[in-house]
Structure 1
Amino acid sequence: MKTGTREAMVLSEVLRSNACMIDHYNLYMTGCQDQQLRTILDRQQRHTLDSFQRLIQMMQSHGLDTSNIPLPTTMSVTAGGAQTTTGAAQYGTQWTGRQYGQQTGTTSYSAQYTAGSPAVGTQMTAGQPGTQAPTFNDRTISEGALLFHKSGAEINTRAALESSEPHIRNALTNMARNCIEMSYELYNYMSQRGWYQLPTTPQNFVTHSPTQQQYPPQ
Protein backbone atom coordinates (compact mmCIF):
# COMPACT_ATOMS: atom_id res chain seq x y z
CA MET A 1 0.00 0.00 0.00
CA LYS A 2 1.39 3.41 -1.00
CA THR A 3 2.49 5.96 1.58
CA GLY A 4 -0.32 8.47 1.95
CA THR A 5 -3.11 5.98 1.34
CA ARG A 6 -2.04 4.04 4.43
CA GLU A 7 -1.83 7.23 6.51
CA ALA A 8 -5.27 8.39 5.33
CA MET A 9 -6.82 5.08 6.38
CA VAL A 10 -5.28 4.89 9.84
CA LEU A 11 -5.83 8.57 10.62
CA SER A 12 -9.47 8.29 9.60
CA GLU A 13 -9.97 5.47 12.11
CA VAL A 14 -8.21 7.43 14.86
CA LEU A 15 -10.25 10.57 14.24
CA ARG A 16 -13.54 8.67 14.10
CA SER A 17 -12.86 7.06 17.47
CA ASN A 18 -11.86 10.42 18.96
CA ALA A 19 -14.99 12.16 17.64
CA CYS A 20 -17.12 9.39 19.13
CA MET A 21 -15.40 9.72 22.50
CA ILE A 22 -15.77 13.50 22.57
CA ASP A 23 -19.51 13.27 21.89
CA HIS A 24 -19.99 10.51 24.47
CA TYR A 25 -18.23 12.68 27.03
CA ASN A 26 -20.96 15.29 26.48
CA LEU A 27 -23.48 12.63 27.49
CA TYR A 28 -21.36 11.55 30.46
CA MET A 29 -20.99 15.08 31.82
CA THR A 30 -24.72 15.65 31.53
CA GLY A 31 -25.44 12.75 33.89
CA CYS A 32 -22.34 13.06 36.11
CA GLN A 33 -23.07 13.86 39.78
CA ASP A 34 -19.59 13.93 41.32
CA GLN A 35 -17.85 17.26 40.72
CA GLN A 36 -14.42 15.65 40.83
CA LEU A 37 -15.35 13.20 38.09
CA ARG A 38 -16.92 16.01 36.08
CA THR A 39 -13.64 17.95 36.30
CA ILE A 40 -11.68 14.93 35.08
CA LEU A 41 -14.06 14.35 32.17
CA ASP A 42 -14.04 18.02 31.17
CA ARG A 43 -10.23 18.14 31.25
CA GLN A 44 -9.89 14.94 29.23
CA GLN A 45 -12.48 16.00 26.67
CA ARG A 46 -10.72 19.34 26.14
CA HIS A 47 -7.38 17.60 25.68
CA THR A 48 -8.84 15.05 23.23
CA LEU A 49 -10.59 17.79 21.25
CA ASP A 50 -7.34 19.73 21.01
CA SER A 51 -5.56 16.61 19.72
CA PHE A 52 -8.39 16.01 17.24
CA GLN A 53 -8.06 19.52 15.80
CA ARG A 54 -4.28 19.29 15.55
CA LEU A 55 -4.47 15.93 13.79
CA ILE A 56 -7.02 17.27 11.30
CA GLN A 57 -4.71 20.16 10.49
CA MET A 58 -1.75 17.82 10.19
CA MET A 59 -3.68 15.74 7.65
CA GLN A 60 -4.52 18.86 5.66
CA SER A 61 -0.89 20.01 5.69
CA HIS A 62 0.04 16.63 4.17
CA GLY A 63 -2.57 17.01 1.43
CA LEU A 64 -4.89 14.32 2.83
CA ASP A 65 -8.63 14.65 2.35
CA THR A 66 -10.54 15.33 5.59
CA SER A 67 -13.96 16.04 4.06
CA ASN A 68 -15.38 12.66 5.11
CA ILE A 69 -14.09 12.74 8.69
CA PRO A 70 -17.03 12.98 11.14
CA LEU A 71 -16.58 16.00 13.38
CA PRO A 72 -17.57 16.15 17.06
CA THR A 73 -20.68 18.20 17.74
CA THR A 74 -18.49 20.69 19.63
CA MET A 75 -15.53 22.00 17.67
CA SER A 76 -14.33 24.79 19.97
CA VAL A 77 -12.83 24.64 23.44
CA THR A 78 -11.36 27.10 25.87
CA ALA A 79 -8.12 25.84 27.40
CA GLY A 80 -5.60 27.91 29.28
CA GLY A 81 -7.67 31.03 28.64
CA ALA A 82 -7.39 30.78 24.84
CA GLN A 83 -10.08 29.86 22.35
CA THR A 84 -9.22 26.99 20.04
CA THR A 85 -11.28 26.35 16.92
CA THR A 86 -11.14 24.25 13.79
CA GLY A 87 -10.00 27.26 11.81
CA ALA A 88 -6.96 27.97 13.98
CA ALA A 89 -3.52 28.65 12.54
CA GLN A 90 -1.86 25.77 10.72
CA TYR A 91 0.43 23.59 12.81
CA GLY A 92 2.41 22.29 9.83
CA THR A 93 3.83 18.80 9.84
CA GLN A 94 5.41 18.99 13.28
CA TRP A 95 3.30 17.67 16.14
CA THR A 96 3.17 20.32 18.86
CA GLY A 97 0.36 18.95 21.01
CA ARG A 98 0.66 18.93 24.78
CA GLN A 99 1.52 15.79 26.66
CA TYR A 100 -1.30 14.84 28.97
CA GLY A 101 -0.26 15.66 32.53
CA GLN A 102 1.59 18.88 31.66
CA GLN A 103 0.54 22.33 32.88
CA THR A 104 -0.16 24.91 30.22
CA GLY A 105 -1.53 28.36 30.99
CA THR A 106 -4.27 28.08 33.56
CA THR A 107 -5.15 24.51 32.64
CA SER A 108 -3.62 21.78 34.78
CA TYR A 109 -3.66 18.22 33.49
CA SER A 110 -2.97 16.55 36.82
CA ALA A 111 -5.87 15.45 38.96
CA GLN A 112 -6.01 15.64 42.73
CA TYR A 113 -8.01 12.93 44.46
CA THR A 114 -9.81 13.11 47.76
CA ALA A 115 -11.22 10.32 49.85
CA GLY A 116 -14.94 10.00 50.27
CA SER A 117 -18.02 8.51 48.71
CA PRO A 118 -19.47 10.83 46.09
CA ALA A 119 -23.11 10.95 45.21
CA VAL A 120 -24.08 8.97 42.16
CA GLY A 121 -26.64 9.59 39.50
CA THR A 122 -29.78 7.62 38.87
CA GLN A 123 -29.53 4.06 37.63
CA MET A 124 -29.94 3.45 33.93
CA THR A 125 -33.30 1.98 33.00
CA ALA A 126 -34.66 0.69 29.74
CA GLY A 127 -36.38 3.53 27.89
CA GLN A 128 -39.34 3.59 25.58
CA PRO A 129 -39.50 5.58 22.33
CA GLY A 130 -40.30 9.19 23.05
CA THR A 131 -39.26 9.03 26.70
CA GLN A 132 -36.44 10.98 28.32
CA ALA A 133 -32.98 9.55 27.68
CA PRO A 134 -31.68 7.44 30.58
CA THR A 135 -28.80 8.64 32.72
CA PHE A 136 -25.85 6.69 34.08
CA ASN A 137 -24.44 6.57 37.57
CA ASP A 138 -20.92 7.84 38.16
CA ARG A 139 -19.41 4.37 38.31
CA THR A 140 -20.81 3.47 34.89
CA ILE A 141 -19.65 6.82 33.48
CA SER A 142 -16.09 6.39 34.71
CA GLU A 143 -16.03 2.78 33.48
CA GLY A 144 -17.15 3.87 30.02
CA ALA A 145 -14.59 6.67 29.87
CA LEU A 146 -11.85 4.27 30.98
CA LEU A 147 -12.74 1.82 28.21
CA PHE A 148 -12.63 4.63 25.64
CA HIS A 149 -9.03 5.40 26.58
CA LYS A 150 -7.98 1.76 26.66
CA SER A 151 -9.41 1.34 23.17
CA GLY A 152 -7.83 4.63 22.08
CA ALA A 153 -4.39 3.51 23.22
CA GLU A 154 -4.71 0.36 21.11
CA ILE A 155 -6.07 2.19 18.04
CA ASN A 156 -3.40 4.90 18.16
CA THR A 157 -0.59 2.39 18.69
CA ARG A 158 -1.77 0.24 15.80
CA ALA A 159 -2.09 3.35 13.62
CA ALA A 160 1.45 4.46 14.53
CA LEU A 161 2.79 1.04 13.58
CA GLU A 162 1.06 1.29 10.19
CA SER A 163 2.29 4.81 9.42
CA SER A 164 5.60 5.42 7.65
CA GLU A 165 5.46 9.25 7.70
CA PRO A 166 7.68 10.35 10.65
CA HIS A 167 5.62 13.32 11.88
CA ILE A 168 2.32 11.44 11.73
CA ARG A 169 3.84 8.41 13.42
CA ASN A 170 5.20 10.63 16.20
CA ALA A 171 1.82 12.30 16.66
CA LEU A 172 0.02 8.97 16.94
CA THR A 173 2.61 7.67 19.40
CA ASN A 174 2.08 10.72 21.61
CA MET A 175 -1.69 10.28 21.42
CA ALA A 176 -1.37 6.64 22.48
CA ARG A 177 0.74 7.70 25.46
CA ASN A 178 -1.84 10.33 26.41
CA CYS A 179 -4.60 7.72 26.32
CA ILE A 180 -2.57 5.64 28.76
CA GLU A 181 -2.18 8.63 31.09
CA MET A 182 -5.88 9.48 30.96
CA SER A 183 -6.88 5.87 31.58
CA TYR A 184 -4.59 5.79 34.61
CA GLU A 185 -6.18 8.98 35.90
CA LEU A 186 -9.61 7.34 35.73
CA TYR A 187 -8.29 4.12 37.23
CA ASN A 188 -7.01 6.03 40.27
CA TYR A 189 -10.34 7.78 40.65
CA MET A 190 -12.24 4.49 40.49
CA SER A 191 -9.79 2.61 42.70
CA GLN A 192 -10.11 5.14 45.53
CA ARG A 193 -13.86 4.63 45.50
CA GLY A 194 -13.65 0.86 45.49
CA TRP A 195 -15.00 0.62 41.94
CA TYR A 196 -11.89 -0.98 40.44
CA GLN A 197 -10.59 -3.67 42.72
CA LEU A 198 -7.89 -6.01 41.52
CA PRO A 199 -8.65 -9.71 42.05
CA THR A 200 -6.97 -11.37 44.98
CA THR A 201 -4.14 -13.76 44.24
CA PRO A 202 -5.35 -17.38 44.40
CA GLN A 203 -3.82 -19.35 47.23
CA ASN A 204 -2.68 -22.04 44.84
CA PHE A 205 -1.09 -19.55 42.41
CA VAL A 206 2.52 -20.52 41.69
CA THR A 207 5.09 -17.89 40.77
CA HIS A 208 8.72 -18.41 39.83
CA SER A 209 11.27 -15.69 40.55
CA PRO A 210 14.55 -15.62 38.58
CA THR A 211 16.45 -16.95 41.63
CA GLN A 212 14.07 -19.88 41.92
CA GLN A 213 14.17 -20.81 38.26
CA GLN A 214 15.39 -24.34 37.76
CA TYR A 215 17.62 -25.14 34.84
CA PRO A 216 18.21 -28.59 33.38
CA PRO A 217 21.54 -30.20 34.35
CA GLN A 218 24.42 -29.59 32.00
Structure 2
Amino acid sequence: PVAPSINGAPPNDRAIATGYLLNQKSAALNYAGALLECANPSLRSFLEKAFLNSSRHAYDIWQYMVKKGYYPLSPAPDSEIKAIASIYQPINQQLQ
Protein backbone atom coordinates (compact mmCIF):
# COMPACT_ATOMS: atom_id res chain seq x y z
CA PRO A 1 0.00 0.00 0.00
CA VAL A 2 1.06 3.55 -0.69
CA ALA A 3 0.36 6.27 1.87
CA PRO A 4 -1.24 9.48 0.59
CA SER A 5 1.05 12.47 0.23
CA ILE A 6 0.36 15.23 2.74
CA ASN A 7 3.32 17.47 1.91
CA GLY A 8 1.63 19.22 -1.01
CA ALA A 9 3.94 17.74 -3.63
CA PRO A 10 2.39 17.20 -7.06
CA PRO A 11 1.19 13.66 -7.70
CA ASN A 12 3.60 11.29 -9.40
CA ASP A 13 2.78 8.84 -12.18
CA ARG A 14 1.91 6.06 -9.74
CA ALA A 15 -0.51 8.24 -7.79
CA ILE A 16 -2.23 9.40 -10.97
CA ALA A 17 -2.54 5.84 -12.28
CA THR A 18 -3.88 4.61 -8.93
CA GLY A 19 -6.44 7.40 -8.81
CA TYR A 20 -7.58 6.68 -12.35
CA LEU A 21 -7.86 2.94 -11.68
CA LEU A 22 -9.90 3.51 -8.52
CA ASN A 23 -12.13 5.97 -10.39
CA GLN A 24 -12.81 3.50 -13.20
CA LYS A 25 -13.53 0.66 -10.76
CA SER A 26 -15.99 2.84 -8.86
CA ALA A 27 -17.65 4.04 -12.05
CA ALA A 28 -18.05 0.47 -13.32
CA LEU A 29 -19.68 -0.61 -10.06
CA ASN A 30 -22.05 2.35 -10.13
CA TYR A 31 -23.00 1.76 -13.77
CA ALA A 32 -23.61 -1.94 -13.08
CA GLY A 33 -25.79 -1.17 -10.07
CA ALA A 34 -27.87 1.35 -12.00
CA LEU A 35 -28.12 -0.99 -14.98
CA LEU A 36 -29.56 -3.80 -12.88
CA GLU A 37 -32.33 -1.49 -11.65
CA CYS A 38 -33.12 0.11 -15.02
CA ALA A 39 -36.28 -0.63 -17.01
CA ASN A 40 -35.87 1.93 -19.82
CA PRO A 41 -34.28 0.17 -22.83
CA SER A 42 -32.43 3.26 -24.10
CA LEU A 43 -31.01 4.13 -20.70
CA ARG A 44 -30.18 0.48 -20.08
CA SER A 45 -28.22 0.34 -23.34
CA PHE A 46 -26.33 3.51 -22.38
CA LEU A 47 -25.46 2.09 -18.95
CA GLU A 48 -24.26 -1.19 -20.48
CA LYS A 49 -21.93 0.70 -22.81
CA ALA A 50 -20.72 2.95 -19.99
CA PHE A 51 -20.02 -0.10 -17.81
CA LEU A 52 -18.02 -1.80 -20.57
CA ASN A 53 -16.09 1.41 -21.21
CA SER A 54 -15.12 1.76 -17.54
CA SER A 55 -14.28 -1.93 -17.33
CA ARG A 56 -11.97 -1.72 -20.34
CA HIS A 57 -10.30 1.46 -19.09
CA ALA A 58 -9.73 -0.14 -15.69
CA TYR A 59 -8.13 -3.17 -17.33
CA ASP A 60 -5.92 -0.99 -19.54
CA ILE A 61 -4.66 1.09 -16.63
CA TRP A 62 -4.16 -2.06 -14.54
CA GLN A 63 -1.99 -3.54 -17.31
CA TYR A 64 0.02 -0.29 -17.43
CA MET A 65 0.49 -0.37 -13.65
CA VAL A 66 1.64 -4.01 -13.71
CA LYS A 67 4.13 -3.22 -16.49
CA LYS A 68 5.53 -0.26 -14.51
CA GLY A 69 5.77 -2.32 -11.30
CA TYR A 70 3.11 -0.21 -9.53
CA TYR A 71 0.75 -3.15 -9.09
CA PRO A 72 2.59 -6.29 -7.97
CA LEU A 73 1.24 -9.42 -9.54
CA SER A 74 1.79 -12.90 -8.15
CA PRO A 75 0.23 -15.69 -10.20
CA ALA A 76 -1.66 -18.32 -8.24
CA PRO A 77 -0.05 -21.76 -8.10
CA ASP A 78 -1.46 -24.28 -10.60
CA SER A 79 -2.71 -26.46 -7.74
CA GLU A 80 -4.93 -23.62 -6.46
CA ILE A 81 -6.25 -22.83 -9.93
CA LYS A 82 -7.14 -26.49 -10.48
CA ALA A 83 -8.78 -26.75 -7.05
CA ILE A 84 -10.98 -23.72 -7.73
CA ALA A 85 -11.78 -24.86 -11.27
CA SER A 86 -12.90 -28.26 -9.96
CA ILE A 87 -15.59 -26.60 -7.85
CA TYR A 88 -17.44 -25.32 -10.90
CA GLN A 89 -19.17 -27.56 -13.39
CA PRO A 90 -19.91 -26.55 -16.99
CA ILE A 91 -23.54 -25.66 -17.64
CA ASN A 92 -25.22 -26.40 -20.93
CA GLN A 93 -27.51 -23.50 -21.65
CA GLN A 94 -29.64 -23.01 -24.69
CA LEU A 95 -31.05 -19.61 -25.48
CA GLN A 96 -34.71 -19.67 -26.30
Q: TM-score, normalised by structure 2?
A: 0.71
Aligned CA-pair RMSD: 2.5
**Please, which runs of 5 or more residues in structure 2 have no aligned partner?**
90-96
Q: 2:24, 2:10 → 1: CA distance?
A: 21
Structure with bigger strand share is 1
Match of 1:126? 6
> Using CA pairs below 8 Å that are at least 6 residues apart, which structure has the higher relative contact order?
2
Q: 2:24, 2:68 → 1: CA distance?
A: 20
Q: 2:78, 2:46 → 1: CA distance?
A: 44
Distance change in 2, residues 1:165/1:193 (3 Å) = same
Give the SS at the match of 1:167. Answer: helix
Q: 1:140, 1:134 → 2: CA distance?
A: 11
Structure with bigger helix share is 2
Q: 1:182, 1:135 → 2: CA distance?
A: 24
Matches within 5 A, 1:1-218: 125-127=5-7, 133-201=8-76, 205=80, 207-208=82-83, 209-210=85-86
**Please, which runs of 5 or more residues in structure 1 have no aligned partner?**
1-123, 128-132, 214-218
Identity, % of aligned positions: 30
Q: Partner amino acid for 2:6?
A: A
Distance change in 2, residues 1:174/1:125 (3 Å) = closer
